[in-house]
Every structure is written in structure tokens, then in C-alpha cells.
Amino acid sequence: MISIMNHRIECWLIVVCLLGWAVPLHGFERSAVERSVVRIFESGSGMGSGTVINAQGDVLTNQHVSNGSDSLSVGSQFSDGLKSAQIVWESPDKDLAVIRAQGLALPHATLFSGQLEGSPPVYAMGYPGAADRHSDTLRASLTDGILSHFFRGLDWPVTILQHSAAVSGGNSGGPLFDHCGRVVGVNTQRPHIMVIEPGPSGPQPNRVPNNSGINWASHIKEAITLLRARGIDFSSDGSPCVAATSGDPAATDEHARQTAEEALGQAGAATQQAQDAQEQADQATQAVEEVRNDIKYATQASRLTNTFVALVAVATLLALGLALRKPRQELLRVAGQAAGKMAAPLSQLVQAVRPRKPAIALTGFDNQGRPVSLRLHQADLDRQQGGFTVGRHPLLVDSVLDGERLSRRHARFSGSNGSVFVEDLNSSHGTRINGTACLPFQPVQIRPGDMVEVGGIALRVSS
């Protein structure tokens, strides 16, 4: 873990240096992405929007836009008229679809394959019917906002992006861009979304309406997974995007300076955490060495005690035989009582240094093929102390696992009355027990022989 922290500190320092030299962006370039956004028609009437994703004319959109129709066409101000389109595939549960328009001859957009962090600026582009109803030019509308939140839906089983870039009827299926012009989501117009929220008696489903200022898009990674599974070409980019807050160069420089200072502060905090962790590791090493010495001394004491007990027993028998001349049975009884009193402290000493047996063990392999072994004791599983958490962020969990589908804090193991439970911490890709998905924040009991899957890593439970 210490080596991972040191590596992260080095990365932060590199970021600080790059921020000092990089030239930030001076505004979102509409012209760089507008040609890849098209309007989708059915029998000549506008229905929704879409994004060109490859040179073959494939367009990514919502399933409720294509909706199984065999009379689709696409076009924009940059296309040579409308082009007939056919459905390549649809996913009703994910509300995603790809349609193909031959001869479209428009540039394709790039899909973002990296991790979304913080609250970056986003830009929605599409063809809302209210905006272009009386226009002679088929031109896409552009709105901007902030990506404020992302979560997992129930009736719409995708990672949902909540943002403030205004969308309305006709925007469905259109792209949500980041500041660098990569597609981070597919916008949608839905009346409501079902989610899991905390309640008085525990997590429960709740209906979130589509209110003013709250807009939704499905995370582009949902589409990327389906596109890869079906062998459909697309371009992707996972590099970070440094977005400027203003077109003013002075404001841009100030933003870069503030960002560099924040990164430097985080690097300092990470350094302090690494030092604290090193001190804790040194203390743990010293404690282990003390336990080893205690065992060594206990072993030596045990040997001396056994020898002493034997000598005392012989001496007692001889003394009693010569002095008291009692019957043989009485001699043995007295000697046995004396030996028993001296052996009791030795038994207690052996019990004290006997190693603890783990409450449960989980074994398997991570995404790199390396073995994973978690041995959890009752003290580790104390829920009042936070339980035992796993994930990919070394500063937020008790054990770090290697997997790109793992969340920073993915799952927690806890114990109660001799039973062991696993609880999903609202992770992006979920937690499964024997193939069944766990609801977030609802502990589920696990037993020896069960298979627990966290972020694609399968671990077998044993006692």
C-alpha cells in the first residue's frame, strides 16, 4: 500500500508540473463537433437526435427514438439531404440503439472512455422541436451546464448522469459533450427515474420526477460496452480534459494557477498520509516482533515448567513416601493435585499465544490473474468500526483490489452474532452473490461455498 501511495504522490507532482506548462482551452469549440450531430426523422417528421460514431454512417441514439421503425432517415445542415437509415440493434432496457445511414458522409464524434470526476462543464447538442419548428435551416441547438451527480437507476438500469444543460423534446438520443468535445453521455427525456434512497427503515425505491433544471443522460460507458460486444467501430479517448473557465487569458491563467495550487495541496496531503501509514506500519512491525518474542519466551518457559513439574512430582512422592509412609493411592492423589495446580498457568499461557482463527476467508484472482486472499477476523468485521471495505482507492478502503470496474469504495464485509454479511456501497458495476445482484446498502449474509463478485472479481467464500 505504501508503494501505491508513493506512486500516486509522484503522479500528483507530474500533474502540478504539467499544469504549469500546459495551454488551457479557451472555450468549447462547437464547430469541432457539430457536424457529427444529426436529426432523426420517421416518415418525414422529426423524432429525436443522434451522434455519428464511425465512417460507415452508424448513429448512436435512444431506443425510444428508433422504436423498431422501418421508415427512418437522418440529416443535418451539413448532409446532402436526408439519408435513409435502418436499425442495426436496439436495447430497450438500456434505452440505446444504433441506426445506419448509407452515404451520410459526416465526420464521427469521439466517445470518452475515461473516469468522470468532480463537476465538470458539459454541453448538450441536439434538435429540440420547439427550437427549430419555424426555422428554414436544420441547425442543432447547443446548451451548457454542469455535471452535478451520477447514480444507478432501477427502472432504467444504467449509470445516469444528472446535469444542468437544458434539453427538451427532440434532444433525446443526442450527445452530451465534455469541454474537449468527447461524448460523455446520451441525453434523454424521461418523465421520471426510479432510484434507491435512504429511508427511516432502510434503503427504499423512490421516484425522481423530471423537474426544471434537472436533466438526464446515460453514461457513455453503457453504450461503449454494447458497441464492443457487437463489434461496431467507434473512436474513444480516455485522457483528462483541462477545461478553462473563461475565454479571458488572464482568467485562464488564474484558473490554471488555482488548479496547480490545489494539486500541490493534495500532493502534500498524500505525502502526510503516506508518512502516517509508514509510522503505523512500523508500529505494526514492532508489535509483531514483540509477539514473536513473547512466543519464544513462552516456549522456553513451557520447557522449564515441564521439567520443574516433573522434579517436583518426583520430590513430592519421595518426601511423602519417606516421611508419611502413606498408602500408594494417597501418594498419587497428593502428587496429582500439586502437578495440576502448577500446570494450570501453563495452559493459560498456551491459550493466550495461540493464533486466532479467521472468521471467514475469500480467495480468487484479480483482473491481472494475480491471486487474491482475504482472511477476515471478527475484529475486522465489527460494523460499529466501519467493517472491512474493499475497492480501488487505497485511502478509502481496508484492502485494495485491482480492477477497472471496481469503484473507489465498492463493498463492505461485516459480522453479527457469528454470521458474516456483504454490502454493496452503491458501486458503479455492483456486487453479486452467486450471480444475484445486491441492492445498495443492504447487507446480505454469505456462507462457505458462496461466490461473491465485486467489480468483475470472483471470490470463493470458505471458513
Tens digit of each residue's pLDDT (9 = 90 or more) over 118-154: 889 999 999 987 555 544 457 889 999 999 888 887 7
* Burial of residue 386, with CB atoms counted within 10 A of its CB: 0-12 exposed, 13-18 middle, 19 or more buried: exposed
Q: Which of 392, 394, 461, 398 is nearest to 433 (CA)?
A: 461
Q: What amino acid occupies position 34? A: E
Asked if residue 342 has pLDDT above 70, the reply is no
pLDDT at 275: 78
Name the residue with higher pLDDT: 151 or 107: 107
Phi, psi angles (nearest 5°) of residue 74: -135, 155
Q: What is the mean pLDDT of residues 22-33?
A: 67
* Burial of residue 171, with CB atoms counted within 10 A of its CB: 0-12 exposed, 13-18 middle, 19 or more buried: buried
Asked if residue 78 has pLDDT above 70, the reply is yes
Asked if residue 114 has pLDDT above 90, the reply is yes
Asked if residue 88 has pLDDT above 50, the reply is yes
Name the residue with higher pLDDT: 319 or 147: 147
Least confident of 83-97, 167-181, 232-246, 251-265: 251-265
CA 209 – CA 194 distance, rounded (Å): 9
Name the residue with higher pLDDT: 158 or 344: 158
CA 47 – CA 128 distance, rounded (Å): 9
Asked if residue 346 has pLDDT above 50, the reply is no
pLDDT at 243: 54
Asked if residue 242 has pLDDT above 50, the reply is yes
Q: What is the mean pLDDT of residues 287-295?
A: 72
Phi, psi angles (nearest 5°) of residue 456: 85, -5
Mean pLDDT, the chain, rounded, equals: 79
pLDDT at 253: 61
pLDDT at 25: 41
pLDDT at 94: 92
Least confident of 64-73, 215-224, 313-322: 313-322
Asked if residue 240 has pLDDT above 60, the reply is yes
Phi, psi angles (nearest 5°) of residue 188: -150, 155
Asked if residue 73 has pLDDT above 70, the reply is yes
Span 150-203, pLDDT tens digits: 888 777 889 999 999 988 888 899 999 999 999 999 998 766 666 666 667 766
Confidence label for 47 from pLDDT (cuts 50, 70 and 90): confident
Cα of first residue to Cα of last residue in the chain, in angstroms, is 26
Span 381-411, pLDDT tens digits: 886 778 899 999 988 899 999 888 999 999 9
Q: What is the mean pLDDT of residues 297-310?
A: 70
Asked if residue 214 has pLDDT above 90, the reply is no
Please, what is the Cα angle at 86 between 83 and 92, to 5 degrees? 130
pLDDT at 185: 97
Among 2-6, 73-77, 322-326, name the most confident range.
73-77
Asked if residue 98 has pLDDT above 90, the reply is yes
Pairing between β-strand 431-433 and β-strand 96-101 as defined by DSSP bridges: unpaired
Asked if residue 107 has pLDDT above 90, the reply is yes
Q: What is the mean pLDDT of residues 87-101?
A: 95
Confidence label for 224 from pLDDT (cuts 50, 70 and 90): very high
Confidence label for 354 from pLDDT (cuts 50, 70 and 90): very low
Q: Are 397 and 409 in contact (CB under 8 A)?
A: yes
Q: What amino acid occupies position 353? A: V
Using a pLDDT cut of 70, give the percent of the chain over it: 70
Q: Cα–Cα distances in Å, from 138 out to 30, 35, 37, 302, 442?
A: 16, 12, 11, 92, 50
Q: What amino acid occupies position 205? A: P
Q: What is the mean pLDDT of residues 221-230?
A: 96
Yes or no: domain 28-243 corresponds to CATH 2.40.10.120? yes
Q: What is the mean pLDDT of residues 43-53?
A: 84
pLDDT at 380: 85
Looking from the CA of 265 toward its CB, the CA atoms found within 13 Å total 6
pLDDT at 301: 66
Q: What is the mean pLDDT of residues 436-455?
A: 94
Q: Are 237 and 182 in contact (CB under 8 A)?
A: yes
Span 247-284, pLDDT tens digits: 455 555 666 666 677 777 777 777 787 777 777 777 77
Yes or no: domain 360-462 corresponds to CATH 2.60.200.20? yes
CB neighbours (10 Å) of residue 160?
22
pLDDT at 192: 60
pLDDT at 448: 94
Looking from the CA of 436 toward its CB, the CA atoms found within 13 Å total 10
pLDDT at 262: 74
Looking from the CA of 55 toward its CB, the CA atoms found within 13 Å total 0
